[in-house]
Structure 1
Amino acid sequence: MSNAIVEPYQESRIEDEPILGPVLAMPDGSFKRLNWLERVMVRLRLTNARALEARYYHPLGS
């Protein structure tokens, strides 16, 4: 049997920071500030955190 430790997948999420406003919290712990159009699209539910993550997330080594 393998004794490998598997980390659970952590999805990105949109959080409302007190100073920055709406931000995209990435799985690696970083934050991406949303621009005006992205804020509007999130508010109107035209996009979600997963779609924004696909646009901005670059894994290490790429």
Structure 2
Amino acid sequence: MKCSVLFIFYFIFFSFFVCFYYYFCLVFVLFFCYFLNIFQNFKVLPGCNAAKRQLWE
């Protein structure tokens, strides 16, 4: 009984951890691409387009 409760707790914690880092990385990539676009005359990288599409949809 105790093991299953511990497993569920770890699963919830791990999924929250992954989601937090996923969104943090997404925001970081968007800011990085934004500043990169300013310096590169608004040449948009394909990865940035995908990140923007994922964030706004």
The TM-score, its normalising length taken from structure 1, stands at 0.26
- Bigger RCO of structures 1 and 2 (CA < 8 A, at least 6 apart): 2
- Structure number with higher strand proportion: 1
Q: Greater Rg, structure 1 or structure 2?
A: 2
